[in-house]
Structures are given as structure tokens and as C-alpha cells.
Chain A
Amino acid sequence: MKEVLPLVVLCLATYHTHSIKIGISHNYNATISPTASTTTEAPATTGAPSSETVSSISTLPEAEVTTTTPAITFPPRVQQKPKVAVASPTMSTALPLNSTEVNSTLSVSGDNTFYYCSCDLQAGRCDLNCCCDNDCPLETRQVFNCLPNSLLPQLESRLEDFQYTHGLPTCQINDGWLCVFRSNTKATKTQPPDMNIDTSQYRKWKDNLEYQESDYAQSRPSAGHYKFGQTLQLWQPETKQLATLELPAAYESPNCQLKQSVWHLQPIRHVCRMKDSAQLQESIWSLLNQTSNYEILSKPRDLEEPEVNGLIVQVCLRGANKSMRCLERGNDTQLDVIVDHVELQLIHNFTNILEAKLFLEEAKLAEDDNEPLWLRYNVEFVTLNESLTKPTSGPLGYLSGAPVILSRMLPQNSSEDKQLISYHSLNQNIKEFHWLSLPSRKPRGSSCQRALDHKEALRFGIDLLTRCELRHAAPLLQAHANHTEYCQGLQAQIWSLLLPHNCTQLEDVTKVFVSHLGRPQPDKWLPMEVRYPENVHEMPPPVQAVYDEMRQSLSCRNIFLSVGYEFHVAHLAMVEGRAPHQRVLQHARLVLGQRHDLEFDTSEIEVALPLSISAMFYRMQTKALSNGAAVGIAGHLVLVEMIYLGIIYLGSMQLCL
């Protein structure tokens, strides 16, 4: 992969870039250094154009040698080794110090040490139908479909599913001589389902009356509240009739010819295709008519109670500029706008429905009249007093496809204050972005764009490679212009696209941390390591600007156009074996691409730089562990066998003699 990436970058550069020359930066020999220094000093001596200056340049024999040598494509680079030598010790000492400080100041939270719930995906918020979530109130035990302990799955046939028992752990948990190395446990045999062999029951229609009676019988024990997955009921006060709330369902067809009931605590998302605006209006009108004539029952109807109190659905219109206007309830309510998004928001306390709101979102005018109309239906269940939570990507480890969680080190106000990760800071901004957002290509173009949206974040386990162009204004090719500032600004803009957000320099990456777990913990953060393949022990050379007055060209040296993110993934059994198959990040690394020299000439107004960014997830830990363990054991066994056979041979020889 590392070898293909530079080739891809070069092909992209050759194909897309027409206005600038991009070359690979090299380390020139010492013999070229004197010539380079002479060439660099030339612009200083030619401050004012005059005949004397021209004559002075022409008389230098070294300049003639430089210009006439065909092998050198770019002006030679000035070697600034002392600066690199000074900078690298500072960087090398700073990183361990910061890492040590972070590790020492982070406190281990003992509350979550042995807590694991496989369906608790949101920290600090109750997950629907999750019976082991500590964030759920006690009333949810009566609402959710909780299985009894006797129905828990039996032992599986894999070592990873082996339940931990005190004294004999698996070798992954506690390595030793008395650990369980392999397991051949088999799944319990399931009883075959009973087949109905009574032919008298065949080819008979279903008795709807019996079904309704059984439905009523089932609803009686739970008359006090809804259960998870139970159909919400509608009540018409005038005719005193019960009904169910149904919405069009996009099942097997986008035309939504079928309808689906709204079930308790089960969100619904459907997108329906409309033939024309008339059908769209008809659908909206039908829904509004239903909401105006019926009321939603906060709990199932109890036949013993004479009075029924339903909830009135409040209809609100949400404009394009996020403005909201609620409509008064009435039969003659008219809509003067086209609606393409219908959201039914049900506020609940897990047992009862407390409030119902219907949000209608105004449709945006389409550029093309031939584009089809789409009507979106959403049903959301919102908890009362629901608070914002921190982003998580799994119950403990990362879930496949969940975004990778990043955070940065907060600035230290004083020496006494402890350095904290912004994710765990109490005063953190809720809207702070905690993911790794990567640039993408703009639609109908190849320019780079970057949106701080969790939908654009890097997903765990999904490798990607993005190539796009950064368009930038061409530099002013004049002697008095500040070319170094231009080159550094160009590199900073490139870094702002390739590095994590709010990072414009490589030094900022050292303050970025990646969460080891999908549910971040204070002591489980990994620093983002910056790796420079050309010289692992040093930082990359700084950006340089070389202006050639004779050729009227500017060269920006040591420019990076590509980076690669490498994440090493391991599968661990955590919480003493009670949380198997947890995907965790063991190492995070930012690998810099190849250095490039960019040459600009006077014929350019705008330049397009080809950028490339890749993200790879490696399972190096598991492979290394398995290979290392196998090789170690095999080596030990071979050694023991050889010693044993040697002893046997010597013994037999002695006996023979």
C-alpha cells in the first residue's frame, strides 16, 4: 500500500495538474550545497534591475555552470541541518512528557470497571428495549421485552464464548500453564419444532373474531401502560371508536401502497415516491384529517374505565429557515405550502405517551420539474427531559461501522491544573466535534471539501482512499514578494484538510488522542503518533521557498500532499471474559506521504494541488499474537524433544557400553 500510494499521487498529479510542476523532494549531495547557497544569495544582490546587475550575474562562472547543467531540474535545496537538529530534540522530549502527564493525571473510574451491557449504545441515555441498561428507569422493566435468565443462551462452540470461571481462565485473559488453551464445547441440541400433523386444521381461514378476542384478552393484563412493540391506539371522541395509527410503508416498493401501524417505542422511517404534487397533497391531507378527528391514547383502552382521555396531536409547520408555526386544530385547516417531510414526535415516559406533535417541513423548490417528489415519514419517540449525551461508538468496544472517537488535550491554565481530555471535561462544549472528519470531493467536481458532520466521520473498520484537488491562487512571482509566507500558508491550508480538524500544523497532532474503546474512558486514550517514513527519528524538514529570477519561477520545497491514517485493531475479551469479541484500537498513527517540490511560473492564475488521504485498519495485534504464540510453543516443544531424544540416545549408548 505504501508503494502504490506515491504512484497514485504521481498519476493524479500528471493527470489533473496542468499549471504547476510537482516533483519528488530529494536530499541533495554536499557538492551542490555551495551552488545552492550562491543561487539563493543572487536575488539579494539584484535588488534593483539595472545593466550593472545583469553584467554582474553574467560574470559569475558558477551561475553559468548551474544554468547549463541539464541534470538538475529544480534549483538545489539549501541544507538547514542545524535547524532540524535543534527542532527534533524538542519534539522528541515533548511527546513523552505530554504522554506521561496525561497518563498520570487521568483517574481510573472504578464504577464502570465491571459494568458491561451489550445493548447500551448511548452513554447517559436509556436505550430502547435494553433491559440491562443502567440508565433506564425501573418502569422500563415492565415495558421492555426482557427475557428471563433461564432463557439465556447456553455455551457456544467457540473458545471466545467460553464463560469465565474463577481459577481457570482462558489463555487470552490470564496467560499461564493452567489456562484453557482450547475448547471443544458444543451447543446444546435444540428440540425440533412440533409439526402439526392434524390435517383437519389445514386449508382453513383465520378466525378474525377469535384473533380480536385474544387480542383484547392479552391487552387486559397490561391495561395500565403500553408495552414495547404494542400498537398505539387512537380514540374518536364523537363516535367513541378505537382505531390504530397507521402510516404508509415503503415495503418492497417506493410507492407506499401498504400501511404500517405505529408501535410503541419503535421509530419508523419511510420514504415514499409521489406521482405528482396532487398525490403529495392528498397524502398530507389524509394524515391531517386523521390527526384532527382522532386522539392518541396515552395508555391502552381499559374497558372498565368509562372516561377516555386522549391526547390532541399538535400540528406545527417548520419552514425552510427553521422557523416553526403551530396550526390551530380544526377541520378546515389548510396548508399553503408543499410539504415533503412529516415527523411525528411522541414524548413519553416509557410507559405512557405524554404528548404528540406532528411537524410538517416545507419542501425546497427543485431545480428540475421532472425530478420525482419524495415524501418522508418519521416517527420519533422522545423521552421527557432528554439531555444531550456524549458520543459513543459501542457498548464497550467499537461497533463495526461506528465512527472513530477523537479528542484533544485541553490547554493547561496553570502548572497545578491537571491536563484533561476535552471529551471528559465538565465544561466542554456539547457541540464540540469528537470524530475524525476527512475531506471528500464536492459533488459535480473534484475539489476538496470538509464538513464537520458525524455522517462524514471515519467509520471503524472501513478503509477508504480519497483523492481530490485543492484550488489555490497562484503566487505573485516578484522578487520583493514574501514567498516563504506563501509556501507556508499553502502547506497550512493543506494541513487543515488532511489533519484532524482544528489542526494546521504537525505539532497540533500530538495533542490529538484516539479513544481505545468505543465507550471512552478517562484512562483509555491513545496518542496520535506522527510518523515520517523517510526519517523515523526526526521531524520532516520545514517548508522552503526558492525564487528564480531568471526563470521567473517559484519553488516550494518539502510540501506534503498526502497522509495516511493507520489504526491497529485487536479483538479482546474484556471485563474478565464477560464481554467477548470487543473491537478496540491498539495504535493510531498518522503516516506522512512523500515530500514534493512545487514549481510555479508566470502563466498561472490558479493552481490545483492533488491531495490524497487514506485510512486503513489493520488486525496486526491478533495476527502477531497468534503467530508469536504458535512459534513460541513450537520452539519450546522442539527444544524439549531434542533434549529428550539426546538424553535417550546418551542413555542407550551408556547402557550399550
Chain B
Amino acid sequence: MPPKRPPPLVPKKPNPSMNYEVLIYLNSFYFGMFACCEMAMGLLKAINLSYTGHTLALDTGVMISFIVFETIRLIMGRMSSLADRGWSAILSVFMTAPCFVGVSYLLLLQTYRLRLEYCLCTLQIALYLTEVWYAIVFVFSLCRPVTYD
């Protein structure tokens, strides 16, 4: 009988961007609810409250811009993954910054802030911080040496 050949060495391939992908996936559903609530509350405020100058147009413009940017960010984040070095996923991480600015405006600088709006924006900011954290963890995981079984 000829002797058995040893099995070839195959490196482990863990997916370090799994957490980020999960957060993007969950954020897509939460943001859908968030956008609907924000637009409904914006309409409610426009009808019932009085605005001076151009504050209503400013608030509405910022809200719509934020919704568009966040939608694009989520679509790009779900199209690819960080582990595959996809440009869309990387760009979605960088787009978190302007989206963070937008939600901060809604939380702090908006003319009238409702209590429900306050809570929703706070949760959104918590999601952003978590996503950025896991993106940073992914970057550090790239420096880890390759191990073989």
C-alpha cells in the first residue's frame, strides 16, 4: 500500500466584517421606520406650529437630505461587504459622517423637537456609533497574521 499523503494546509478565513454587516442590515429596517416617523412629525409640525423666517424650509431641507443620504448609504452597505474590499461598503462607512451631522441637526438644532423625535434620533446616533466602532474593529482585524490549521 502506498503511504497516505498529508492533507494540504488551508488558511482560516473568518469574516471580520460580520458585525458591521449585521448592523447595516438591522439599520435598514430601523431607518425605514425612522424616516416615516420623521416625515410624519415634520408634516404635523408644519401644520400646527408657526415658524419664523425660513426655518421651516431649512428644517425640511436638512431632513430630506439626511433621508436621501442615509438611504444611499444603506443601499451601498448592503451591496457589498468590507471583507471583500468593496468600494461601496467602504464608501458607506465614510458616508456615516454626513449622516451623523444630519441626525445631530435634527436632535439639537431643529426649531421644534418633539419627545418622540428626541428618542428616535438618540437611537439613530447610537446605531451610528456602533457601526463606526465595528468598522474600526474590522480595520484592526486586517493586521492580524494569517493562521493555518
Contact = CB atoms under 8 A, between A and B. Distances in A.
> Do A and B come together as binding partners?
yes
Interface of A: 154-155, 163, 165-168, 171, 176-186, 188, 633, 636-637, 640-641, 644-645, 647-648, 651-652, 655-656
Contact of B48 (A166, A185, A186, A655): A166
Contacts of B142: none
B26 A648 contact: yes
Contacts of A640: 119, 123
Contacts of B18: 652, 655-656
A184 B50 contact: no
Contacts of B55: 185
A154 B52 contact: yes
Contact of B23 (A171, A636, A637, A648): A648
Contacts of B126: 641, 644
Contact of B50 (A165, A178, A186, A647): A165
A181 B45 contact: no
A651 B22 contact: yes
A361 B41 CA distance: 69
B122 A180 contact: no
B109 interface: yes
Contacts of A180: 49, 112-114
Interface of B: 15, 18-19, 22-23, 26, 41, 44-45, 47-50, 52, 55, 109-119, 122-123, 126-127, 130
B115 A179 contact: yes
Nearest to A182: B113
Contact of B114 (A166, A179, A637): A179
List 7 A-B pairs, minimum CB-CB distance, nearest first: A177-B116, A167-B48, A181-B115, A652-B22, A168-B48, A182-B113, A652-B19
Contact of B44 (A155, A163, A167, A184): A167
Given A181-B115, A183-B111, A651 B26 contact: yes
Given A179-B115, A184-B112, 13 more contacts: A165-B49, A168-B112, A177-B116, A178-B41, A178-B114, A181-B117, A185-B111, A186-B52, A188-B52, A633-B119, A636-B119, A644-B123, A648-B22
5 contacts: A165-B48, A168-B48, A176-B115, A177-B115, A633-B118
Contacts, number: 84
Contact of A171 (B115, B122, B127): B115
B22 A184 contact: no
B111 to A, nearest CB: 5
B55 to A, nearest CB: 8
A487 B20 CA distance: 82
A625 to B, nearest CB: 15
Nearest to A183: B112
Given A167-B48, A640-B123, A181 B22 contact: no
Given A637-B122, A644-B123, A652-B18, A185 B26 contact: no
A183 B118 CA distance: 12
A185 B110 CA distance: 9
A655 B22 contact: yes
Q: Secondary structure at chain B's binding surface: helix, strand, loop or mixed? A: helix
Contact of B110 (A177, A184, A188, A641): A184
A652 B16 CA distance: 11
B48 A181 contact: no
Given A166-B48, A645-B130, A182 B118 contact: yes
A178 B52 contact: no
Given A168-B49, A188-B52, A181 B114 contact: yes
B111 A155 contact: no
Nearest to A640: B123
A154 B10 CA distance: 74
Contacts of A656: 15, 18
Contacts of A648: 19, 22-23, 26, 130
Given A168-B45, A188-B52, A178 B116 contact: yes
Contacts of A645: 130
Given A168-B44, A178-B41, A183 B123 contact: no
A100 B20 CA distance: 62
A188 B50 CA distance: 13
B123 A181 contact: no
Given A181-B114, A184-B111, A645-B130, A155 B123 contact: no
A177 B114 CA distance: 7
Contacts of B52: 154-155, 185-186, 188
A500 B122 CA distance: 52
Contacts of A186: 52
Nearest to B19: A652
Contacts of A641: 123, 126
A518 to B, nearest CB: 30
A633 B49 CA distance: 25
B29 to A, nearest CB: 12
A171 to B, nearest CB: 6
Nearest to B47: A167
A425 B116 CA distance: 48
A143 B45 CA distance: 41
B50 A181 contact: no
A166 B50 CA distance: 11
Contacts of A644: 123, 126-127
A411 to B, nearest CB: 49
Which one of B55, B114, B123, B126 has the highest number of Cβ atoms from chain A below 10 Å of its Cβ?
A: B114
Given A645-B130, A651-B22, A178 B115 contact: yes
Nearest to A187: B52
Contacts of A184: 109-113
Contacts of A183: 111-113
A169 to B, nearest CB: 10
Contacts of A633: 118-119
A287 to B, nearest CB: 54
A154 B52 CA distance: 9
A405 B47 CA distance: 43
A179 B116 CA distance: 8
B27 to A, nearest CB: 10
A34 B113 CA distance: 71
Contacts of A636: 119
B68 to A, nearest CB: 23
A33 B56 CA distance: 79
Contacts of A655: 18, 22
B87 to A, nearest CB: 23
Contacts of B115: 171, 176-179, 181
A163 B48 CA distance: 11
B134 to A, nearest CB: 9
Contacts of A166: 48
A228 to B, nearest CB: 32
B49 to A, nearest CB: 6
Contacts of B127: 644
Nearest to B23: A648
Nearest to A171: B115
A120 to B, nearest CB: 27
Nearest to B118: A181
Contact of A181 (B19, B23, B109, B113): B113
